[in-house]
Amino acid sequence: MIGALQAGLLDSPYSLTEVRVLFELAQAGRLETGELRALLGLDAGYLSRILTRFGNDGLVERERSESDGRKQLVSLTPKGAEVFAALDRRSGEEIEQLLGGLSDGDQARLVEGMATIRQVLDGTRERRSYVIRPPRTGDLGWVAYRHGELYSAEYGWGTAFEQLVAGIVAGFDPAHDTGWIAEVDGERAGCIFCMRQDDETAKLRLLLVEPWARGLGIGRRLVDECVRHARAEGYRRITLWTRDCLTSARRIYRAAGFELESSEKGSENGIELVEEMWTLDLSTPPAAGSA
């Protein structure tokens, strides 16, 4: 816990809401009380009591608006600015102490988790757009790095899996293989590759969607693009290898028309799992509305 729910935030006599009022005033310089109330979603009486307390403590000053005498403007006094600066500094120190013991990977996971929470609560998942583009310089290294780090964090897979992915990436040949990178707001958010096995068979490889970008339909779009390309290139079938624990990916594969061909028990980093091979017949035209 970082003390946000304690009676006195950051060992101060002020609550979280009261400190938020100080923050908004420090950022804006001066606000009309109605604007401040709307900004924070506070009851008028509650805000009035907060401002009265701040006034008694010498933290804020209030004056009538010159343009409209019915409105009241609020700003921090020099003492109020000093109090907020001390709280802001203390908050930064606590956050630094809290995060200081985390690895870079754990910090990245924390940020991703916070972004997911924000997106779910404010509904931005549906509004965010993404683009699908061919790989560029630096993308192949990112693909290997994110597979190793992400699957280690989410499933406990180790170095051997990362080496496997690195080998697949190293075998990518632009002469007959194709890949796609998904971007959200200019940041890499996912990938997939269509690689040649033989004249009649393509392989779907290395599907990945970043946790913070899931729910946007990127995984399905990448798979559809891969299948469309394989069909256009004249392959008769496209296969993929996956594992039973990757439930979201398996749902996408099934929705795209892939069928489970075979499975066998396996393990990764001492963790038991089931290896699966899936196949999609490309020799017949796709159903209406499918890839």
Rg (CA), the chain: 27
Residues 174 and 177: their CA atoms lie apart, in Å, by 5
pLDDT digits (tens, 9 = 90+) for 127-184: 568 899 999 999 999 999 999 999 999 999 999 999 999 999 999 999 999 999 999 9
Residue 239 C-alpha from the chain's centroid: 29
Q: Could you report the per-residue pLDDT of 171-211, keeping only the tens digit for each? A: 999 999 999 999 998 899 999 999 999 999 999 999 999 99
pLDDT in tens, 100-110: 777 766 776 77
The 3-state DSSP class for residue 176 equals coil
- Kindly tell me if the per-residue pLDDT of 255 is higher than 80: yes
What backbone torsions phi and psi does residue 64 show, to the nearest 5 degrees?
-75, 145
Cα 280 from Cα 34, distance rounded (Å): 61
Backbone angles phi, psi at 258, to 5 degrees: -70, 145
Is pTM beyond 0.85 here? no
98-137 burial: b if 16+ Cβ within 10 Å, else e: eeeeeeeeeeebeebeeebeebeeeeeeeeeebebeebee
> If one looks up domain 130-281 in CATH, what number appears?
3.40.630.30
CATH 1.10.10.10 fits domain 9-101: yes
Domain residue spans in the chain?
A: 9-101, 130-281
Residue 83 region, left (φ>0) first, then alpha (ψ -120 to 50), else beta? alpha
Q: State the Cα–Cα distance between residues 128 and 114, nearest whole angstrom.
A: 16
pLDDT of residue 291: 47
